Amino acid sequence: MRHEPMSPAGTRWKRSSRCNSSTCVEVLITSQAVHLRDSQRQHDVLSVTRSDWAQFVSAVHLSQAVDSMRIADSAGKVHVGSRTGDGSLVFARGDWDVFLEGVQIGEFGL
């Protein structure tokens, strides 16, 4: 897990249009990587390769198992990590589900 990356000019963190609360999964897509964070803990950032992100989005669209990222559900929390093991984040199950709805309708493609 790293601290917040610098946002290149013209880019910004994005939330799903389905998120109606102050606690959301946020995504920043850059030319180098894709970064995720919890809107309530903005300095904790998980970065994944663009390739792993593309595989994740495809798997969600096809309702297939995700193997490009480590995702585990436990006691109402979702633990998300990079495939390489470089950190992880924890999201509330409801926040993650709202984020997945956004992925399914195409809000977070490359």
Beta bridge partners of 60: none
Residue 20 has φ and ψ, to the nearest 5°, of: -115, 20
Alpha-helical (H) ranges within 1-62 are 50-61
Residue 16 has φ and ψ, to the nearest 5°, of: -65, 145
Contact of 65 with 49, CB cutoff 8 Å = no
pLDDT digit string (tens) for 50-104? 999 999 999 998 878 788 888 888 889 999 998 887 788 999 999 999 999 999 9
Alpha-helical (H) ranges within the chain are 50-61, 93-104
What's the pTM? 0.84
